[in-house]
Amino acid sequence: MPAPIRLRELIRTIRTARTQAEEREMIQKECAAIRSSFREEDNTYRCRNVAKLLYMHMLGYPAHFGQLECLKLIASQKFTDKRIGYLGAMLLLDERQDVHLLMTNCIKNDLNHSTQYVQGLALCTLGCMGSSEMCRDLAGEVEKLLKTSNSYLRKKAALCAVHVIRKVPELMEMFLPATKNLLSEKNHGVLHTSVVLLTEMCERSPDMLSHFRKNEKLVPQLVRILKNLIMSGYSPEHDVSGISDPFLQVRILRLLRILGKGDDDSSEAMNDILAQVATNTETSKNVGNAILYETVLTIMDIKSESGLRVLAINILGRFLLNNDKNIRYVALTSLLKTVQTDHNAVQRHRSTIVDCLKDLDVSIKRRAMELSFALVNGNNIRGMMKELLYFLDSCDPDFKADCASGIFLAAEKYAPSKRWHIDTIMRVLTTAGSYVRDDSVPNLIQLITNSVEMHAYTVQRLYKALLDDISQQPLVQVASWCIGEYGDLLVSGQCEEEEPIQVSEDEVLDVLEGLLVSNLSTPVTRGYSLTAIMKLSTRFSSLNRIKKVVSIYGSSIDVELQQRAVEYNALFKKYDHMRPALLERMPIMEKTATNGPSETVQTNGETDSTILDTKHLPSISQPASQANDLLDLLGGNDVVPIIQTTVPTKPASAGGELLDLLGDLSLTGGPTPTPASSVPMSQPPFLLDGLTSQPLFNDIAAVIPPMTAYNKNGLIIEFTFERSNPNPNIAVITIHATNSTEADMTEFVFQAAVPKTFQLQLLSPSSNVVPAFNQGSVTQVIRVLNPQKQQLRMRIKLTYTHKGSPVQDLAEVNNFPPQSWQ
């Protein structure tokens, strides 16, 4: 068999291949030759064959059949064989292969070889890709070599130990004794690798960290070494652009960082040297800046004195002005890390940071944008926002979404005025409208609703924006919602902030209808505009036109639109009496969470026992609940806020829940009608099926007679009953407490308990002062669920302060009229 071709020959041949197919052919041929050579167990040329295999592996071809051959090479006595064998092992055999464990014995032998270069090969292989099992087996050998006087081996053993610790952290203890005098070495290689080893140990184990701080007094040693490096003269061996061994300097600074973090004594010991490095390092070349960078990171992490911190931030500020892009990038990244802790210092460099927004480099722009958002505060909001909006205009599309969200957040936190806020939002919507996130539409709508005085201005600006451009969906959605709500303000030209425009109802309807038919509108947008048109039916006078539009869409292909149109049609035809109330202006919405979706208030017909358990009660205010229900039907991306009438803060009472809407109706003086206009509630078939309003105050209540529950010491408590209409198991009791004495009863608290088979819910009382001389009463609502229809019994506890002294009383109420629980 002729000798296999040489490696160089093969490489040359493969490079002459003109196509991928040709190359593949050559490689396959050679692989076949190599395989047969392997089968023949040819010792002489194994090395050559494996080398060729490694080349082909680098080109991307499979080489797994060479794995065992690598092992044979490692086991060979020839240095050449070992060199290639270990290289092959590192490339082809990682810990996922089953055969790699076979290496262990060879490595063990080689670790004890007489030639240091063979030992070096073994250490290198173990240190690069040794598996946990191998590490466990060979840790002892490595530890032995860590103590040798041969610096070539010592440095390799140190890094090998680092790898062992990474793979098997429990073995860390083993290497501790060997680290004792590592730092007294003169050899820079050993010093460097020792610092790496110590860093790894300190990072992994807090015990080790404190051991090295206290017992070994590591910090003074490191400070001394660093000082020598800086002060020593020129050493050609380690010099890089005039700086002595920058690699070692950087590693020492990093270890100092770990030692000084959170520890006052260590931090103090290193203050001087850090200041020295920070001021004396040459900054003309990258290497000097690399050291300064590491120094700054260390200063910021340890408990350094404020002067040093300011020095560090100033260095970063200087970096920002450097011509070198890498250094600017690194500065921005570091400033981002420190902006939380040293906010004021970073603020001083704000203008430079904002200039970086205009940089051409994408990485720098992104960092600058993040940092700019972190620097925005109440004082600089106007200026910063101008820059950020300009940036939003001109930046790449990948940035726009993040930038838009950032601007919204910043505007929300620091807006100097509502008008500015709305203007800013408008600007974002018009420039980057298609990139804003989906949840920003409801957030914006909520914001607009809350700025009551700006409604006219907002709707006018949105209308004008719509005239310009209807392609940006979030803008269109917000605009159509606003026009639907505030269209009357638009037409009547009520705007105070700027010149009111003359718009007729027809023009507005033209625009909205245009949205419906436009190809640019998404189905969601169409839904918004249809609803807006419908809402205008109560605000505008051109009813016929609106009716026509609505009926047209009753046969739309889009199911969502069709449903809406059909329901609105029904509203015109059968339920016209409800239409004004349904489409009334939305009340101010309260946000419960900044970013989370608000829960829908479930209004459904089944006010069964779940009512007592759910946290959110249906709204009493009927138009609000009806409008909410309307939104329920629309679903989808429509605004789904929690609609609550603004509840006055009440003292927390037993059972008082967040949306204590029922409670807020317990006004002094007994039951009164709801503040909003009440709409006669006949039983509706479908649209308003889901609607219930608790018919607290309807005639049915009269059926159950009231009773006196308590009468003592001038305090009379009367119970009046209603039955919860859909669920006969719930009795709604309103207590009326009156005080016939000559002094007020203050801090009045009524508590009640029922037997286990019942469930009780106490809502907020109207007040906690029972005025004297029966001048008024305190009312409170109790809801009792009585599924087993047992006789209602209640124990009540009263506490109040009368004439300066506290009074407490317990009583049992057993005289409930049978109708209340049957």
Partner 1 sequence: MMHFLLLFSRQGKLRLQKWFLPLPERERKKIVKDMTTMVLARKPRTCNFLHWKDLKIVYKRYASLYFCCALENQDNELMALETLHRYVELLDKYFGNVCELDIIFNFEKAYFILDELLMGGEIQETSKLSIVKSIEASDMLQETEQKRRSEHPSSSEIIQNTTCF
Instruction: Pick out residues in 92-131 that bind partner 1 (CB under 8 A).
Output: 94-96, 115, 117, 120, 123-124, 127-129, 131
Task: Select 113 or 437, whichever has its Cβ closest to partner 1.
Answer: 113
Whether the CB-CB separation of 176 and 215 falls below 8 Å is answered with: no
Interatomic CA distance for residues 507 and 425, integer angstroms: 25
Instruction: Pick out residues in 131-160 that bind partner 1 (CB under 8 A).
Output: 131, 152, 155-156, 159-160
Select the span of 220-228, 287-295, 480-488, 695-703 touching partner 1 (CB under 8 A).
287-295
Task: Select 36 or 757, whichever has its Cβ closest to partner 1.
Answer: 36
Select the span of 169-177, 282-290, 542-550, 611-619 touching partner 1 (CB under 8 A).
282-290
Instruction: Pick out residues in 172-191 that bind partner 1 (CB under 8 A).
Output: 188-189
Interatomic CA distance for residues 353 and 320, integer angstroms: 8
Report the chain's C-alpha Rg in angstroms: 40
Minimum CB–partner distance for residue 193 and partner 1 (Å): 6
Q: Which of residues 143, 245, 342, 660 is near partner 1 by CB under 8 A?
A: 245
Is 350 among the residues that bind partner 1 (CB under 8 A)? no
Identity of the amino acid at 372: S
Q: Which of residues 13, 109, 148, 286 is near partner 1 by CB under 8 A?
A: 286
Task: Select 316 or 659, whichever has its Cβ closest to partner 1.
Answer: 316
Instruction: Pick out residues in 702-761 that bind partner 1 (CB under 8 A).
Output: none
* # residues contacting partner 1 (CB under 8 A): 75
The H-assigned helical ranges of 655-786 are none
Whether the CB-CB separation of 642 and 599 falls below 8 Å is answered with: yes
Q: Which of residues 34, 269, 287, 415 is near partner 1 by CB under 8 A?
A: 287
Instruction: Pick out residues in 609-638 that bind partner 1 (CB under 8 A).
Output: none
Minimum CB–partner distance for residue 44 and partner 1 (Å): 9
Interatomic CA distance for residues 686 and 675, integer angstroms: 26
Q: Which of residues 24, 214, 224, 325 is near partner 1 by CB under 8 A?
A: 325
Instruction: Pick out residues in 291-320 that bind partner 1 (CB under 8 A).
Output: 293-294, 297
Minimum CB–partner distance for residue 327 and partner 1 (Å): 7
Identity of the amino acid at 295: T
- Sequence-separated (6 or more) residues with CB below 8 Å from residue 70: 50, 85, 88, 89, 92, 93
Is 321 among the residues that bind partner 1 (CB under 8 A)? no
Is 773 among the residues that bind partner 1 (CB under 8 A)? no
Task: Select 262 or 673, whichever has its Cβ closest to partner 1.
Answer: 262
Q: Which of residues 67, 110, 209, 328 is near partner 1 by CB under 8 A?
A: 328
Select the span of 136-144, 283-291, 462-470, 782-790 touching partner 1 (CB under 8 A).
283-291
| Residue 79, CA atoms < 13 Å, CB-side half-sphere | 8
Minimum CB–partner distance for residue 8 and partner 1 (Å): 6
H or E stretch covering 573: helix 559-573
Whether the CB-CB separation of 732 and 723 falls below 8 Å is answered with: yes
Task: Select 83 or 437, whichever has its Cβ closest to partner 1.
Answer: 83
Is 358 among the residues that bind partner 1 (CB under 8 A)? no
Task: Select 275 or 327, whichever has its Cβ closest to partner 1.
Answer: 327
Q: x/- string (CB under 8 A) for partner 1, residues 51-90?
A: xx-xx--xxx-----------------xxx--xx--x---
Minimum CB–partner distance for residue 192 and partner 1 (Å): 5
- Sequence-separated (6 or more) residues with CB below 8 Å from residue 609: 727, 729, 730, 759, 785, 787
Q: Which of 726, 766, 505 is nearest to 605 (CA)?
A: 726
* CB neighbours of residue 351 within 10 Å: 12
Is 247 among the residues that bind partner 1 (CB under 8 A)? yes
Task: Select 36 or 235, whichever has its Cβ closest to partner 1.
Answer: 235
Q: Which of residues 142, 146, 250, 357 is near partner 1 by CB under 8 A?
A: 250
Residues β-bridged to residue 810: 797
Minimum CB–partner distance for residue 260 and partner 1 (Å): 15
Task: Select 282 or 599, whichever has its Cβ closest to partner 1.
Answer: 282
Task: Select 216 or 370, whichever has its Cβ closest to partner 1.
Answer: 370
Interatomic CA distance for residues 490 and 459, integer angstroms: 6
Minimum CB–partner distance for residue 328 and partner 1 (Å): 7
Q: What is the DSSP letter of 649?
A: P
Interatomic CA distance for residues 306 and 317, integer angstroms: 16
Q: Which of 21, 24, 52, 27 is nearest to 38 (CA)?
A: 52
Looking at 635-758, which runs of residues are DSSP E strands?
707-712, 715-723, 730-739, 745-753
218-231 vs 246-260: helix crossing angle, rounded to 10: 150
Interatomic CA distance for residues 291 and 308, integer angstroms: 16
Q: x/- string (CB under 8 A) for partner 1, residues 211-240?
A: --------------------------xx-x
Backbone angles phi, psi at 239, to 5 degrees: -80, 135
Q: How many residues does the chain have?
A: 822
Whether the CB-CB separation of 716 and 737 falls below 8 Å is answered with: yes
10 Å CB burial of residue 466 (0-12, 13-18, 19+) is buried
Tokens of 15: 């490079």
Is 327 among the residues that bind partner 1 (CB under 8 A)? yes
Minimum CB–partner distance for residue 190 and partner 1 (Å): 9
Interatomic CA distance for residues 273 and 286, integer angstroms: 21
Minimum CB–partner distance for residue 194 and partner 1 (Å): 11
Minimum CB–partner distance for residue 367 and partner 1 (Å): 10
Task: Select 325 or 789, whichever has its Cβ closest to partner 1.
Answer: 325
Whether the CB-CB separation of 143 and 175 falls below 8 Å is answered with: yes
Q: How many helices (H) and strands (E) does the chain have?
A: 33, 10
Task: Select 193 or 727, whichever has its Cβ closest to partner 1.
Answer: 193
Q: Which of residues 27, 30, 34, 48 is near partner 1 by CB under 8 A?
A: 48
Is 163 among the residues that bind partner 1 (CB under 8 A)? yes
Q: Which of residues 70, 122, 196, 532 is near partner 1 by CB under 8 A?
A: 196
